Amino acid sequence: MINVGLIGCGQIAEVAHLPCYQRLKGVQVVALCDLNRTRAKRLSRRFGVAKIHENSSELFEKEKLDFVDICTPGFTHHRLCMEAIQNGVNILVEKPLALSVVEANEIDKASKIEGVKVCVVHDYRFKEPFAKAMNMYKEGKIGKIKEITSVQHGLSIYSSPSWLWNEQRSDGILYELGIHIVDLQAWFCGKHEEIIGINTKFDEKLNYHTDLQAMIKYESGAIGILDLVWFSSSPVFHFNVYGTATDVYTELFPERFYVASSSSLRPIPDFFIEAKRVLKFAKKVLLRQRREYAVYSFMKLLSEYISAINEDAEPPVPVKSIMNAMKLLEDLRKKVGNLESALACLENG
Amino acid sequence: MKNTVYAVKIRSNRLRESMEQLLQRTMLPTKVESIAIKINMCDFRLRETGATSDPLVIDELLSALRKIYPNSEIFLIENDATTALADILFSYLGIIEIAKKHGANTLNLSHDRWVKKEIDGLIFKKMQVPTVLENCDLVITHPKLKTHGITKITCGLKNMFGCLREKRKIKFHRFLDEAIVDSNLAFRANFSIVDANICQEGIGGPAYGKPRKLGLLIGGMDIVAVDAFCARLIGFRPWFVGHIRKAAHKELGKMNYELKTNMSPNELKTCKMDFSKSEYYFTKLLRKFH
């Protein structure tokens, strides 16, 4: 039996992580840890976890863990990961791994020295449309990637946990809203060469960056277009891969995977694609599997991570595999800073 | 008559004239020292979405009220909600500037002092009430006319539900009709002035429906009667809207009303909003499987 300690009893732990542990065999959450004891107690009752700790050092000291699941806000991840590594405990950590490349490198280096397996929850890589697109790419069916356009629009930040409202702490638009889509781009295209252009909007009334559009050139020659918007009219997640052989269009909420053909008009196959998509969704609703369906990508990642621990293999999303995304995020953040200071200089004459 | 509903068509974008016309027709009291206007800021959505109170309409409402009550104290009130923070929204939507222009105040109810009030409610027997609502001589509910994925319509009655002290009002959604009626028993509004200029239709409401320009201002002393008329605009008989029916049973007002309008019957017929009943009932069925 694999023993898990979970740190951070917020929304993601309640909605995704703890329900998945309940459904998996051969794994049990032995203790919860949160500064807010009331919240930890509520979740311990709901998910049948026997022990509660108020701080991480107590958790590492008192429990014998096979891995720790870190579900706290992003700005705490570096400290908690380093503490787990010092205690020789394997780590499953929510994204972002850290808020800088230096911190991510530190975690990577220390974990290798201590022989700790670190897996980052970039579960979108396991979502069906993106996994299918990646398989096609690996099989050479897409050809060479020429361009990726990715759009993510989210609604109000105020429906998210309150720590996210402070941009200085959360680095919201890049490290919270855009992290999945940036990771997917870097997963497909590899290392970036330069950020060709960037546009941002800072809302002074909200004291928050609400829009970011960027054009990125990758070393592979591919061009990535990134469009991130908060406070949008509707939630959007589009990720389109344009290759030399074919183009793939993917979408979330609900999921959609579509391979372009040479002809632009093909109503019959399109009808069946849409019908299949609707029936799949309806089946999940009617069989009351909607909640399971919402977290299936995390479930896949978790199962693979547990297998990696049992078989002493590499975790499904190791730190090295996300470093391209971490570098891109950091460069985007720098570029936003440079752009804004240049604009401020212009304004001040 | 108390249950008269006034509907004024805004012609050629003359919002000011229409608002003045509406307030002249409604029988507002002559002497008032303080007024509380409950606006609607349910989410971070701008005026063009039809989801939140329109600053331009509020501007004209305050301007028209100032003509009648030049020295009264006016409060624009809203409360924090599940996904809405009133303080930030007052600024985000530009309500603070409008209030300042007319010498009015904005007030986040969560910062007010609350007192307990006994009510003969459908669920609640006691409710906490902000003192501003207890102390003001005139309480106006100033909702947006929108469709609602659960209650079918959101208007004057539902707007007062926003005054409930609890921030996570979503927890009342299991018995929303009853909670709306009880909140109206506790926070009684004297007038309803509905902004039906840019409305929202479809089942995405009250925050994410489709914007629809209806170009109407609707008002009356009887909140239930005004809501009943608005329900008909959306295509429902008032009796089939749970909270309107239950509010009428609790004698908060009447479902029957006398309509006075500057529109011809044919023009009135064009003021119909689309709700998609089949989609509503199908979604309701799906919710049961969740």
Partners of A205 on chain B (C-beta within 8 Å) are: 88, 91-92
Check pLDDT > 60 for residue B290: no
pLDDT of the residue at A172: 84
* Residues 6 or more apart whose Cβ sits within 8 Å of residue A237: A151, A152, A153, A181, A251, A252, A253
Which member of A156, A285, A290 has the closest CB to residue B43? A156
Sheet arrangement for strand A256-259: A192-203, A208-218, A223-229, A145-153, A236-243, A247-251, A256-259
Q: Phi and psi at residue A115, in whole multiples of 5°? A: 70, 35
Selected residue of B87, B88, B285 to mutate for chain A interface (largest A Cβ count, 10 A): B88
Closest residue, chain A, to B80 (C-alpha): A158
Cis, bond preceding A254 (omega within 30 deg of 0): yes
Check pLDDT > 80 for residue A294: no
Which stretch of DSSP H or E encloses residue A215?
strand A208-218
Q: Phi and psi at residue B8, in whole multiples of 5°? A: -115, 125
Provide the CB-side half-sphere exposure for A93 (13 A, CA): 32
CA distance A117 to A97: 13
Alpha-carbon dihedral sign for residues A186, A188, A189, A190: positive
Q: Is B264 on the interface with A (CB under 8 A)?
A: no
Structure-token pair, residue B160: 């007062």
**pLDDT 10s digits, B151-181:** 999 999 999 999 999 988 888 988 999 999 9
Check pLDDT > 80 for residue A101: yes
Check pLDDT > 90 for residue A269: no
Check pLDDT > 90 for residue A272: no
Which stretch of DSSP H or E encloses residue A285?
helix A267-286
CATH class as words, domain B4-287 = alpha beta
- The interface pTM score, or ipTM, of the predicted complex is 0.75
pLDDT of the residue at A170: 83
Of A239, A345, A348, A254, nearest to A296 by C-alpha is A254
**pLDDT 10s digits, B33-81:** 999 999 999 889 999 999 999 999 999 999 999 999 999 999 999 999 8
Q: How far is CA B202 from CA B39, B130, B146, in A?
A: 22, 33, 9
Check pLDDT > 90 for residue B5: yes
Amino acid found at A58: E
CA distance A75 to B129: 39
pLDDT of the residue at B276: 76
Report helix angle A319-347 to A101-114, nearest 10. Answer: 160
List residues of chain A with CB under 8 Å from any CB of chain B.
155-156, 158-159, 203, 205-206, 231, 233-234, 285-286, 288, 290-291
**pLDDT 10s digits, A202-231:** 998 888 899 999 999 999 999 999 999 999
Alpha-carbon dihedral sign for residues A71, A74, A80, A85: positive
Q: Mind telling me how many Å the CA of A192 is from chain B's nearest CA?
A: 35
Task: Tell me the pairing of strands A67-70 and A90-94.
Answer: parallel
Averaged over A247-257, what is the pLDDT? 88
Selected residue of A205, A283, A290 to mutate for chain B interface (largest B Cβ count, 10 A): A205
Cβ separation of A290 and B43 shorter than 8 Å? no
The model's confidence at residue B289, banded by pLDDT at 50, 70 and 90, is low
Residue with tokens 């909605």: A15
The three-state secondary structure class of B215 is: strand
The model's confidence at residue A339, banded by pLDDT at 50, 70 and 90, is confident
Please say whether the beta carbons of B48 and B93 come within 8 A.
Answer: no
Q: How far is CA A192 from CA A195, A214, A218, A229, in A?
A: 8, 13, 4, 22
Alpha-carbon dihedral sign for residues A107, A112, A114, A116: positive
pLDDT of the residue at B149: 86
β partners of residue A195? A216
Check pLDDT > 70 for residue A263: no
**pLDDT 10s digits, B115-157:** 999 999 999 999 999 999 999 999 999 999 999 988 999 999 9
- Greater pLDDT, B147 or A268: B147
CA distance A189 to A137: 11
The three-state secondary structure class of B105 is: strand
Q: Phi and psi at residue B105, in whole multiples of 5°? A: -115, 150
This model's pTM is above 0.95: no
pLDDT of the residue at A349: 65
Partners of A156 on chain B (C-beta within 8 Å) are: 43-44, 83
Provide the CB-side half-sphere exposure for B162 (13 A, CA): 32
Partners of A290 on chain B (C-beta within 8 Å) are: 289-290
CA distance A133 to A155: 27
pLDDT of the residue at B31: 87
CA distance A32 to B84: 30
The model's confidence at residue B230, banded by pLDDT at 50, 70 and 90, is very high
Mean of all residue pLDDT scores within chain A: 90
Which member of B44, B91, B208 has the closest CB to residue A231? B44
